[in-house]
């Protein structure tokens, strides 16, 4: 039976991915520091038969334990997002770059056959013409430390010659949706929560484009790559999402407004986040027959229903975000 190591497997995407892999009949090992209070999530994973190595991806001993018996690695563990990386650039370098390269080297030595690297559509930065969707061959123009680090790791992995394993780099659209390890510090989730809670929401860059993908569809994208023939995905980059799911922040606000009349919105000018990009997801659709199962409007409805049901008693708790 195939065994897959998922670093960051108790995280937002990781929990959904573990469920996908278990449903596919794979054995799963998770390496996770449980930094965000995921003890209950860890117990859930163990109860389902997941081998959980509680440790830091920077620790070579923890990595060694986690790699035992693995034929595939999905590397999700990271200091995720611009604010978290900007707060501690040295930590971001150690986790996002140094540990990623060390893990890849050790995976090769351990005989791992497939290595899936979680990357981001933020690598495209600010496009000269954001109205035309960019594909995987487009110019990378990262404007944040987080994206710069993801680009650096991508380039290193794709340049390995000979490659010790089949490497695939997945550039995820901005993720949203209800998940076992919930996050409310992501755009769709945060906007929906704030307006549902009748708060004042300040929105900047409302005309800027971004792609979005539901957290479950992000996990399904990884499973799709793992289950594809090696020669189809080895040495390849795939954007993960759907071309129709590119939205401006203004569009998100208008859609949330259609589903709740609470809250107050103001649009403000700030210069610290110049990312503006539309992304094409035609490659993953054509080559792997990948299709999303949820749209942003459906995700907003899902979030509102979960909030109405009281699933998140204190949605401002630090356990629901990756940065204080």
| HEC sequence for 230-253 | HHHHCCEEEEECCHHHEEEHHHHH
- Backbone phi and psi for residue 216, each to the nearest 5 degrees, phi listed first: -70, -35
- CA nearest neighbour of 297 among 261, 266, 254: 254
pTM: 0.96
Task: Write the DSSP string, 134-157.
Answer: B-TTSPP---SHHHHHHHHHHHHH
End-to-end CA distance of the chain: 40
Q: What is the pLDDT of residue 273?
A: 59
Confidence of residue 313 (pLDDT cuts 50, 70, 90): confident
Nearest-10 crossing angle of helices 60-67, 100-109: 40
Overall residue count recorded for the chain in this entry: 324
pLDDT above 80 (res 279): yes
Confidence of residue 111 (pLDDT cuts 50, 70, 90): very high
Q: How far apart are CA 324 and CA 318, in angstroms?
A: 6
Three-state DSSP class for residue 90: helix
Q: How far apart are CA 166 and CA 52, in angstroms?
A: 25
pLDDT above 90 (res 259): yes
Mean pLDDT of 79-101: 94
Q: How far apart are CA 27 and CA 24, in angstroms?
A: 9
* Contact by Cβ (8 Å): 308, 259: no
Q: What is the pLDDT of residue 274?
A: 64
Each residue's pLDDT tens digit, 186-218:
999 999 999 999 999 999 989 999 999 999 999
Looking at domain 179-211+244-278+294-320, its CATH superfamily turns out to be: UDP-galactose 4-epimerase, domain 1 (3.90.25.10)
Q: What is the pLDDT of residue 253?
A: 98
Q: How far apart are CA 220 and CA 324, in angstroms?
A: 29
User: 180: part of which helix (H) or strand (E)?
Assistant: none
User: 107: part of which helix (H) or strand (E)?
Assistant: helix 100-109
Scanning the structure block, which residue is given the tokens 């510090």? Answer: 185
What residue segments make up the domains of the chain, in order of their start? 3-175+213-240, 179-211+244-278+294-320
Mean pLDDT of 21-48: 95
CA-to-CA separations, 92 to 84, 205, 258, in angstroms, rounded: 8, 26, 38
CA-to-CA separations, 68 to 3, 64, 154, 180, 215, in angstroms, rounded: 9, 7, 24, 27, 28
Q: What is the mean pLDDT of the chain?
A: 95
Q: What is the pLDDT of residue 242?
A: 98
Mean pLDDT of 85-111: 97
Cβ neighbourhood burial of 61 (10 Å; 0-12, 13-18, 19+) = exposed
Is CATH 3.40.50.720 the right assignment for the domain spanning 3-175+213-240? Answer: yes
- The token pair at 142 is 């990262």
For the chain, what percent of residues have pLDDT higher than 70?
Answer: 98
């Amino acid at each position: 039976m195939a065994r897959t190591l998922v670093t960051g497997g108790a995280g937002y995407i990781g929990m959904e991915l573990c469920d996908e892999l278990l449903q596919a009949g794979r054995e799963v090992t998770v390496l996770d520091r449980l930094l965000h209070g995921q003890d209950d999530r860890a117990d859930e994973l163990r109860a389902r038969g997941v081998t959980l190595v509680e440790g830091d991806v920077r620790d070579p001993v923890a990595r060694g334990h986690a790699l035992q018996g693995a034929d595939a690695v999905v590397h999700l563990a990271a200091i995720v997002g611009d604010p978290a990386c900007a707060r501690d650039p040295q930590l971001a370098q150690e986790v996002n770059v140094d540990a990623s390269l060390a893990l890849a080297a050790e995976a090769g030595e351990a005989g791992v056959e497939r290595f899936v690297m979680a990357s981001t559509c933020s690598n495209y930065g600010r496009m000269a013409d954001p109205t035309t969707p960019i594909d995987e061959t487009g110019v990378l123009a990262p404007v944040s430390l987080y994206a710069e680090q993801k680009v650096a790791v991508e380039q290193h992995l794709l340049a390995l010659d000979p490659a010790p394993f089949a490497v695939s780099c997945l550039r995820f659209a901005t993720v949203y949706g209800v998940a076992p390890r919930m996050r409310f510090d992501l755009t769709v989730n945060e906007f929906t929560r704030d307006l549902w809670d009748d708060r004042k929401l300040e929105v900047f860059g409302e005309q800027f484009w971004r792609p979005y993908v539901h957290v479950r569809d992000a996990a399904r994208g990884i499973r799709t790559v793992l289950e594809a023939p090696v020669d189809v995905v080895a040495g390849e980059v795939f954007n993960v999402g759907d071309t129709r799911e590119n939205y401006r922040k203004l569009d998100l606000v208008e859609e949330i407004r259609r589903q709740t009349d609470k809250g107050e919105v103001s649009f403000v000018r700030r210069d610290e986040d110049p990312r503006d990009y539309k992304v094409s997801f035609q490659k993953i659709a054509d080559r792997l027959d990948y299709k999303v199962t949820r749209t942003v409007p459906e995700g907003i409805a899902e979030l509102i229903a979960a909030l109405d049901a009281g699933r998140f008693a204190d949605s401002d708790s630090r356990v629901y975000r990756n940065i204080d």
